Amino acid sequence: MSEAEQTPPAEPPSPENPLQGGCLCGAVRFEITAPFLSAGYCHCTRCQRRTGTGSSANGRVPQSGFRLLQGADRLRSYQPPTGVPKLFCAGCGSALFSGDPLSDEQVAVRLGALDRDPGIRPQFRQFLASAVSWESIPEDGLPRHPGSRGT
Ligand SMILES: [Zn+2]
Ligand SMILES: [Zn+2]
């Protein structure tokens, strides 16, 4: 899909315009009240494994704009040998966050967990070096990084 065909982003989340999301079984629910700082696609092997897809769409919000509404007892964390923990729902396995959503400065949220438009569009693609062979990378004009896009 070209950029021209993309739906324009909705109003970004704010205290007056909160954005909710949750896991597949509904046990974990959360709310975002600040605009996303960034968003992008990750084609790394870990994202492929934890989602079962070719890439994962993620966005980052400031911790101050994130609130866990319910399901703290259902959240589980997988700590890979390196990098930040990956959080998921114990009931349904939905991939939800990375890092610690309650204490880290920023929370990485899986965009597929959101109830509605995040108010931002993915801005980059990273870890293209490990992209799957069975799916072509869309010609979407986004910057492509072979490894991490850095910070
Ligand atoms: Zn669940
Ligand atoms: Zn990744």
pLDDT one-digit tens code per residue, 78-92: 999 988 899 999 999
Q: Which ligand has its closest atom nearest to the C-alpha of 128?
A: 2
| Ligand lying closest to the C-alpha of residue 94 | 1
- The arrangement of secondary structure in 11-130, i.e. its CATH architecture, is Beta Complex (2.170)
Ligand nearest to the CA of 147: 2
Distance between Cα 22 and ligand 1 center (Å): 8
Query: How far is ligand 1, taken at its centre, from the CA of residue 125, in Å?
Result: 27
The helix/strand/coil state of 59 is strand
Per-domain boundaries in the chain: 11-130
Q: pLDDT exceeding 90 applies to what percent of the chain?
A: 89
Please report, for the chain, how many H helices and E strands are present, in that order.
1, 10
Q: Whole-angstrom Cα distance, residue 19 to residue 45?
A: 29
- Nearest ligand, CA of residue 108? 2
pLDDT, position 90: 98
Give 109-142 pLDDT, tens digit per residue.
999 999 999 999 999 999 999 999 999 999 999 9
- How far, in Å, CA of 107 to CA of 8, rounded? 24
The rounded Å distance from CA 43 to ligand 2 centre is: 6
pLDDT tier at 3 (50, 70, 90 boundaries)?
A: low
Q: Which residues pair with 87 in a beta bridge?
A: 77, 97
The confidence score (pLDDT) of residue 102 equals 84
What integer pLDDT is reported at residue 2 of this predicted model? 53
Ligand with smallest separation from the Cα of 87: 1
CB count in 10 Å sphere of residue 18: 14
